[in-house]
Amino acid sequence: MHDKAEKLKKSKIPQVAVSDELKHRLPPGQMLTDRFPILHEGEVPEYDLSAWRLNVFGLVGAERSFALEELQALPRTRVVCDIHCVTRWSKFDTAWEGVRFRDFLALLDVKPEARYVMFHADENYETNVPLEDLLRDDVLLAWGYDGKPLTDKHGFPLRAVVPHLYFWKSAKWIRGIEFMSEDRPGFWERNGFHNVADPFREERFSGEALPIPEDEWVRKEFD
Ligand SMILES: Nc1nc2c(c(=O)[nH]1)N[C@H]1C(S)=C(S)[C@@H](COP(=O)(O)O)O[C@H]1N2
Ligand SMILES: [Mo]
């Protein structure tokens, strides 16, 4: 513990100090940054928007497929929230634009036995979230960040934003939304990470701590 703290103090982490007033917003074991780290598995996908679709399947009365402009014609919401990555960076007051997941749901004929959602995303990324978690006011299918369209690296054209869970649950480049009666683990959830992922409970790992260096994110790309 002590060693790690010392190591972090010495490394050049683009970290900002947290005032006493804001401390309660920083989950245990997190560091605040004002940069915007870019984290994902695989390559940044490129899309031909005329062919791009969001597919809805699983426990729905009818499978549906949406073009981006159909989603953008839905009621728009702007959410300002804090985000927390399991690799220990947090960023406060990030501003997203999109449609509330809840408002999107109103278009779908979701069956009553649906209790879980799997986000299917490029490249071969999946993450699972209980449906109930997605009904909150601040959960979005987002196409905008900070007043501009999402950049390619942050998920253009569409990503999920689920602020109250570690940020790996906020899938970038989503292509499919599956409604399920039983829970099923996604990519990180199968690979040692916690199924629930509440940052304030520090639900990082499913079993033993993984050997992820605490400063891993610093070596990645930033905006
Ligand atoms: N499709 C996809 N979405 C993803 C990931 C990924 O590997 N693939 N990584 C997740 C992780 S671990 C984090 S921390 C956030 C990072 O989002 P950002 O690059 O916009 O900061 O995206 C999440 N969404
Ligand atoms: Mo992450």
User: pLDDT tens, 133-161?
Assistant: 999 999 999 999 999 999 999 999 999 99
**Best probe residue, ligand 1, of 46, 90, 168, 193 (max atoms within 8 Å of C-beta):** 168
User: pLDDT tens, 14-56?
Assistant: 689 999 999 999 999 999 999 999 999 899 999 999 999 999 9
Tell me how far the alpha carbon of residue 192 lies from the centroid of ligand 2, in angstroms: 13
Domain ranges of the chain: 3-222
Q: Which two tokens stand for residue 183?
A: 């829970």
Which has the closest alpha carbon to 88: 159, 150, 4? 4
For domain 3-222, give the fold: Sulfite Oxidase; Chain A, domain 2 (3.90.420)
Residues with beta carbon inside 6 Å of ligand 1? 37-41, 85, 121-122, 125, 154, 167-168, 170-173
> How far apart are alpha carbons 202 and 216 in whole angstroms?
18
Residue 113 has pLDDT above 70, yes or no: yes
User: To 5 degrees, how large is the angle CA 94–CA 151–CA 214?
Assistant: 60
Contact at 8 Å (CB) between 127 and 194? Answer: no
Token pair 């703290």 is at which residue? 5
> Which of 7-11, 106-110, 204-208 is least confident?
7-11
69: left (phi over 0), alpha (psi -120 to 50) or beta: alpha
